[in-house]
Amino acid sequence: MILNGNGDLSLAEQRSHFTAWALNKSPLLIGTNFSALSNDSIEILLNSEIISINQDEIIGEPLVPFFWGKNPDGTWDPDFPAQYWSGYVNDTSHTAIMYINFNPQTVDLNFTFSHSPHLKATSKYTVRDLWAHEDLPNLAGDGVDGYFFSGGVEIHDVKAFLFTEV
């Protein structure tokens, strides 16, 4: 059950929780008193771009972790959750990317196309920021690792993007 509105989650933590829950294609069961929610909390729960990925045609295929971020080579770490996740949306030309900052400070989280099993190093993509609700500049792979994508993420916050191959 989605915990937004229950307990002491910050807005960043509510955004991360809802994004992870929705992009992992879990049922969107919200168990809270809506009349007690702040407008910011309601806005998180009503993000139509995040919800559309949860409701896409690829039923039962959640995002999968592809890079842990704590280790220099991005390999699995039993003591630190995966920060980088990806998965197809509707078909293989659309990929959702989510990265979560589990660190106690703001950090730059970054990856190359080759890190994700769902992006191609030789492809060009349009990129949509699913929380800012804006299109970012197109990105093109270099044929080896692909484009190096990075961005600052606040403490316990999330970034979510939709990459569409062009």
Among 97, 89, 22, residue whose Cα is nearest residue 57: 89
Residue 3 lies in a domain: no
pTM comes to: 0.89
Tokens of residue 148, six digits: 């190096």
Convert 132-156 to b/e letters by CB count within 10 Å (16 or more is b). Answer: eeeeeeebebeeeebbebeeebbeb
Contact 157, 101 (CB under 8 A): yes
pLDDT at 4 (0 to 100) = 83
Is 6 part of any domain?
no
Q: Which residue range forms the structural domain that includes residue 105? A: 11-165
Domain for residue 5, yes or no? no
120 domain-assigned: yes
Of 43, 21, 34, whose CA–CA distance to 158 is shortest? Answer: 21
CATH number, position 152: 2.60.40.1180
Query: Does the residue 77 lie in any domain?
Result: yes
Per-residue pLDDT at 65:
92
Report the pLDDT value the prediction gives residue 144, as an integer from 0 to 100: 57
Residue 4 lies in a domain: no
Specify if 2 maps to a domain. no
Give CA–CA dist 109/106, Å, rounded.
Answer: 9
Q: What angle do CA 4, 127, 92 make, to 5 degrees?
A: 90
| Domains in the chain, number | 1
State residue 39's pLDDT score.
Answer: 94
Stretches in the chain below the pLDDT threshold 50: none
Q: Which helix (H) or strand (E) holds 64?
A: strand 64-67
86 domain-assigned? yes
